[in-house]
Every structure is written in C-alpha cells, then in structure tokens.
Chains A and B, each alone.
Chain A
Amino acid sequence: VINFASTFIEMFSTTDQALTGIAILFAIGVIVTSLELLVERRRLWHEQGFLAWSIMGAGYSDRMQGPLGRCLNASCRPFVLDLLIGLRILASILLILFVAINANFVVPLVVTMLVHLIVHWRLRYMLDGSDKMSGLVGFTLLISAVFRDDHIIRVAALSFLTAQLTLCYAVAGLAKAATASWWNGRALQGTLGTVVFGVPTLHLFGVRFPMMTRAASWCVILFELSFPLALVGAPTVTVSYLIAGILFHVGVAAVMGFNSFLYFFVATYPAVCYTSSALRTGVLV
C-alpha cells in the first residue's frame, strides 16, 4: 500500500506531470459538460427556453453598442452560442492531443476559456460550484501554459489550485459543522428525501436507520475539515484522502446528480499530489 501510494504521488511530482494530469482531466470535464449543455440548449438558451436572449438580453440592449458590444450581442444568439460551445468541444479535444504530443496548449485553452467567459456571462442563472471550479482550473492552466518556461509561476499555479480546493472543502465543512441539523443527520436525511437531489430508497433507509445518515454527515464534515492533512501527511494519507474525495464526489453525483463536480474537483487532485510531494521533500521540481 505504501509503495502504491508513493508511486501514485510520484506520477504527479513534477510541475509538468501535475499540469498534464490537470489539463487532461479538465478537458474531459469540459467536453462532457459542453455536450450536456448542447443537449439541453432548447430549454436553456434557445428562444423557447428559460434563458432566451430576448428575455435575458433585454436589459443590455442600450449597452450593446460599438463593435465589441455588437460582437457580444451576436455571440449570445442561440445558434452562435451552439457553435461556440461546439468550438469549445473541439478546442478541448485539441487540448488533449496537444498535451499528448507535449506541445504548448495555449491556443486551444484560450479558445476554451473565451467561450467559458461568454457562457458564464450569458447563462449565469445556470452556474453551480463546479462551473466556478472549472473557471479556476482553466485560467490557472492558461497562465501556466503562457509562462511555460517559468518554473516558479507553474509552482504558484499549482499551489493556487491546491489552496482553492483546500479552502473549498474547509468552508463547506465549517458551514456544515456550524449547523446542528448536519451533526444530527437531519440535513442529509432531508436532502435525500427530495426528488431532485435525493433517492427515495436512501431516504427511507435513513429514516429507518438515523445513525447511518448521522454517520455519513460526520464523515463528510470530517473529510472536508481535515483535508489539509492530505497536504502534510505521508503519501498513504494523501492518497487515502484523494480516494475518499473521489468516492465522495462519485457519491454526490450518484445520489444528488452533480456529475460535473466529479470532473472539475478531481481535476485539481494532481495539484494536491504535487503540493504534498513538494511539502514533504522540500524540493520544487
């Protein structure tokens, strides 16, 4: 187990290896979420959808002046947005190919992140935490790709992602720990009872065995609050936390349907491997 953990951490022990891992996972996440958006385009941003431009753009008509304004206005039209998201898929595929041949992936990443900005501005009512994480990962990758020869900037980029992930888990854990309903399991039980974020069978199981929902809540709080140990612990501790994290996000996706968290949060895990390795050895490779 110790050997496996050490080997796993070593896979991402240099900035190149960690950023490569992050780029591939990020690109896969972008491809899947972009395809999901295209599947739902009619209900989201086409004229018959919630976020039709005739509704959402009404307040911007006077501000859409000049070449840039007109360009932005055009990019918000349904079919242009379809094309842009299609372009983002293509750029993400290229990103994976560029990573595979060890080429600089600035161009596909610039395209991906430009579309990201347009989508985030245009479809802001649709965004969740995973979209915010995808923005953090994407722009950090972009900066590290632009300054490909500056080792310190690449280390800073990986440290930034690790800090954001640790902060994310810490804030989520603290907010839960400060609430009685999370400690006694009622919060989780209530969420499991919803049609949208729950599973009826699990809800009934939780009602029948309240100790189980309480234990699950405690595990989530403990995992989130103690995540910094993954950075300073031995390789086995780091790998255990990352496996627990993957299982946690798989569970959240399976029970609550938040699948994109799995892609974009796990995409930051190579940064955790790198940071923990650097902190342990004191060497910034």
Chain B
Amino acid sequence: MDPVLFLRSAVILFFMAWLLLTVLTQFKGSLRYKIKTYDVFSLIPIWTFFAPRPTTCDLCLKVRDIYPSGELGPWRTVETNPPRRIFHILWNPQRRTHFVLLNLSCHLSSAPGPADFQYFKRSVAYRAIRNLVMHLPRSPLASACQFCFMAVWRTPQGELQSKPMFLSDKLIVSEDETRKHETSRVESMSVGGPV
C-alpha cells in the first residue's frame, strides 16, 4: 500500500474515532464512565452545558477561627469569584478558582447523609479544600479553624438566602503554621468580613 495513502487513511480514521468517542460520551451510562476513565488528558468532551438542570444556587466557602478557650470566631467568606464586571468578557481569571471549588464540592452529594460526609472527608477534594483553608490568613491566637459550604440562592424578590451544606472537622493549626501566618499574612487569598 502507498505509505502516503496509508498515513492519510490512518489520520482520517483517527479523526473519525475521536468524533465517535465524543458522540458516545454524550450518553449517560457505563460506556461514558469507561471512556472518561481512560481520558486522562480530558480530550473527550461532554457538551451538555448547564443542561438539563442548570446551576440555580451558589456554593460559598466560609471559614472561622477557633480559639484555645473554645471560643468561635465569626464566619468569613472566602471570595472565590467576584461579582460580574464588564471586562470579564475578555479577562476573568478568578472564575478558575471558583470552578475548582465547584468541581471539588461535586464529591459531596446534593442531599448528603452521615455516610456521605465520612466519604467526603476521606476524599482528595476534602484534603484540597482543607489545604487552602489552612493557608488562609487568620488570627495569631487561633488554635484551630473550621470551614463550611453554604448553598446560596436568590429569591424571586432578589434577596439572598442560604443554608449550610457541610461543616468540616476542627482543623488543628500547628504552632509552626501559626507563626508562618503571623509573619507572612498571606496575600494570596482575600477573605471577606464577618457574615
């Protein structure tokens, strides 16, 4: 066989196979799961954006300090995505961080039971969020901290309502870490005021 023709056929078959895999991945089921297991570079997309059920409530990450006396500090919101600005049409870096938070929180079911909480606490997602929370600026007097997820949605009247979805364990802060935070005052994450 002519090598040029062979190569051409191979490339065209490759494109056809890629398209076929994309089509097959659009259907929910075990086949999608199997294909996505091998798709380590995320080259086979699922195109159902915001459908069939779009996001109608926000996920908000909140943290609070816990003092040695047991006193609890106020909940503070971790700002992962600022309100919309017109320049977001072309430039919106912070959406990445919020998208990570959303993707990590997907490991927690929408109506979690005690077993789900335990499963979530053993997951990479939980450790990832804990890692970020442990590096946030906090009071030098705090001996521990805690984070929670709040579901936030807007009523038809435009008011924001929220309900807690998940409360983490008490995360003990080591002395080394406390000292590090006192000196560096971590500039990497903005944390809003008390809620």
Chain A residues engaging chain B, CB cutoff 8 angstroms = 32, 35-37, 39-40, 42-44, 46-52, 54-56, 58-59, 117, 120-121, 124-129, 131-133, 135-136, 139-140, 143, 147, 150, 152-153, 156-157, 159-160, 163-164, 167-169, 171-172, 175-176, 178-179, 181-182, 187-188, 190-191, 193-200, 203-204, 207, 250, 253-255, 257-259, 262
Can you sample 18 A-B contacts with CB below 8 Å? Answer: A50-B100, A58-B127, A120-B42, A120-B43, A121-B40, A125-B100, A125-B103, A127-B42, A128-B99, A143-B15, A150-B4, A153-B12, A159-B15, A164-B19, A167-B22, A168-B47, A193-B153, A199-B84
In the complex the two chains form, is B158's CB within 8 Å of A200's CB?
Answer: yes
Q: A125-B104, A195-B83 are in contact. Are A259 and B92 (CB under 8 A)?
A: yes
CA A203 – CA B69 in complex, angstroms?
44
B172 sits at the interface (CB 8 A):
no
Name the one of A39, A121, A187 contacting B41, with C-beta atoms under 8 angstroms.
A121
Min Cβ gap B36→A in Å is 11
In the complex the two chains form, is B22's CB within 8 Å of A172's CB?
Answer: no
CA A257 – CA B86 in complex, angstroms?
9
Min Cβ gap B79→A in Å is 10
Within 8 A of A (CB), among B62-99: 80-81, 83-84, 86, 88-99
In the complex the two chains form, is A50's CB within 8 Å of B132's CB?
Answer: yes
CA A179 – CA B88 in complex, angstroms?
29
CA A162 – CA B56 in complex, angstroms?
31
In the complex the two chains form, is B186's CB within 8 Å of A48's CB?
Answer: yes
Specify which of A43, A150, A262 lies most central, judged by the most chain B CB atoms within 10 Å of its CB.
A43
- Note all chain A residues with C-beta closer than 8 A to B96: 36-37, 40, 44, 126
CA A32 – CA B91 in complex, angstroms?
7
In the complex the two chains form, is B131's CB within 8 Å of A160's CB?
Answer: no
Q: A126-B99, A194-B55, A194-B153 are in contact. Are A259 and B91 (CB under 8 A)?
A: yes
Closest residue on chain A to residue B40 by CB atoms = A121
- Note all chain B residues with C-beta closer than 8 A to A175: 48, 51-52
In the complex the two chains form, is A55's CB within 8 Å of B152's CB?
Answer: no
Min Cβ gap B190→A in Å is 10
Closest residue on chain B to residue A138 by CB atoms = B43
Total contacting residues, chain B, CB less than 8 A: 70
In the complex the two chains form, is B45's CB within 8 Å of A136's CB?
Answer: yes
B128 sits at the interface (CB 8 A):
yes
Within 8 A of A (CB), among B88-139: 88-101, 103-104, 124-125, 127-129, 131-132, 135
Those 5 A-B pairs whose CB atoms lie nearest each other, nearest first? A190-B56, A48-B135, A175-B51, A132-B45, A193-B154
In the complex the two chains form, is B11's CB within 8 Å of A131's CB?
Answer: no
CA A219 – CA B27 in complex, angstroms?
24
- Note all chain B residues with C-beta closer than 8 A to A169: 47
Closest residue on chain B to residue A175 by CB atoms = B51
CA A258 – CA B50 in complex, angstroms?
12
CA A25 – CA B83 in complex, angstroms?
28
Interface SS of chain A? helix
CA A186 – CA B98 in complex, angstroms?
24
Min Cβ gap B165→A in Å is 15
Min Cβ gap B75→A in Å is 16
Name the one of A37, A204, A253 contacting B93, with C-beta atoms under 8 angstroms.
A37
CA A262 – CA B135 in complex, angstroms?
34
In the complex the two chains form, is A40's CB within 8 Å of B86's CB?
Answer: no
Min Cβ gap A17→B in Å is 20
In the complex the two chains form, is B93's CB within 8 Å of A36's CB?
Answer: yes
- Note all chain B residues with C-beta closer than 8 A to A139: 43
Closest residue on chain A to residue B127 by CB atoms = A55
Name the one of A125, A128, A131, A164 contacting B128, with C-beta atoms under 8 angstroms.
A125
In the complex the two chains form, is A39's CB within 8 Å of B19's CB?
Answer: no
In the complex the two chains form, is B51's CB within 8 Å of A56's CB?
Answer: no
In the complex the two chains form, is A254's CB within 8 Å of B104's CB?
Answer: no
- Note all chain A residues with C-beta closer than 8 A to B104: 50, 125
B31 sits at the interface (CB 8 A):
no
Q: A179-B52, A191-B55, A200-B154 are in contact. Are A56 and B124 (CB under 8 A)?
A: yes
- Note all chain A residues with C-beta closer than 8 A to B54: 181-182, 187-188, 190-191
Closest residue on chain A to residue B136 by CB atoms = A48
CA A36 – CA B99 in complex, angstroms?
13
- Note all chain A residues with C-beta closer than 8 A to B8: 147, 150, 152-153
Min Cβ gap B120→A in Å is 15
In the complex the two chains form, is A153's CB within 8 Å of B11's CB?
Answer: yes
